[in-house]
Amino acid sequence: MDHVPVTALDGEQSGQISSWRDFQDRLRAAMAMAATQATDLTMVDIDFVHWPLGERSVMEALHQWSLLTKGTHCQLLAAHYDAFPRHHPRWVAWRGTWAHRIKCWQASEELATSLLPMFVLHGSIGLKLNEPLHGTGVWTRDRGVLRTWLSEVDAILQRSHEALPPTTLGL
């Protein structure tokens, strides 16, 4: 597997994402960065099926991130979470412990189709696919661009509701 090392993201300010595999590799590298930074995370996708969220390296990075400080939060925004437990069972189990800091939101039906895959490590780096079918997009360290992306997400979050409960309690 051709992982993008964290140092490969250090020098440049922005660049292209050429495929889903490139996005996944850059996400792994960004998660490794997150493991050392006490800052918020934002993730957006229609269903997160193509994301490596349940991989051991990503899970370890998320766990390290969660231990850095009590004040950081991660929010996920999706059209639906139907396939999430099947594709990311490790992540779902891990989230049970950290649900107070990991919030999952479901976009309203009219906005769900406008969700583009995006990852933002607040204040540091962001990845966004403008063409999800082919997995092409951009990554950037430009804080102004990151703020714009997060503002767009916030507008959708205001019309969303919490989803993917951390436990499934039955009666």
Q: What is the CATH number of the domain that holds 34?
A: 3.30.870.10
CB 110: neighbour CB atoms within 10 A?
Answer: 8
Residue 95 confidence (pLDDT) above 60: yes
| Range(s) of the domain holding residue 60 | 15-162
What percent of the chain is modeled with pLDDT above 90?
Answer: 80
pLDDT at 9: 52
Nearest-angstrom CA–CA distance, 115 and 58 = 22
With respect to residue 1, please indicate whether it lies within any of the assigned structural domains: no
Q: Is residue 79 part of a domain?
A: yes
pLDDT of residue 69: 79
pTM: 0.90
* Top-confidence residue, 124 or 1: 124
Backbone φ and ψ for 143, nearest 5 degrees, come out as -65, -30
Calculate mean pLDDT across residues 79-91.
Answer: 93
In a domain, 128, yes or no: yes
Q: Which two tokens stand for residue 52?
A: 């490596």
Record the tokens describing residue 45, joined without a space.
């996708």
Residue 2 lies in a domain: no
Classify residue 6: in a domain, yes or no.
no
Q: What is the pLDDT of residues 35-65, one digit of tens each?
A: 999 999 999 999 999 999 999 999 999 999 9
The answer to whether position 3 is within a domain reads no
Looking at residue 73, its pLDDT comes to 95
- pLDDT the model gives residue 10: 57
Tokens at residue 42, please?
């934002």
Predicted local distance difference test score (pLDDT) of residue 168: 59
Domain annotation covers residue 90:
yes
Average pLDDT on 105-126 reads: 96
Whole-number pLDDT of residue 1? 41
Number of structural domains, the chain?
1
Is 168 inside a domain boundary? no
Number of other residues whose CB lies within 10 A of the CB of residue 61? 21
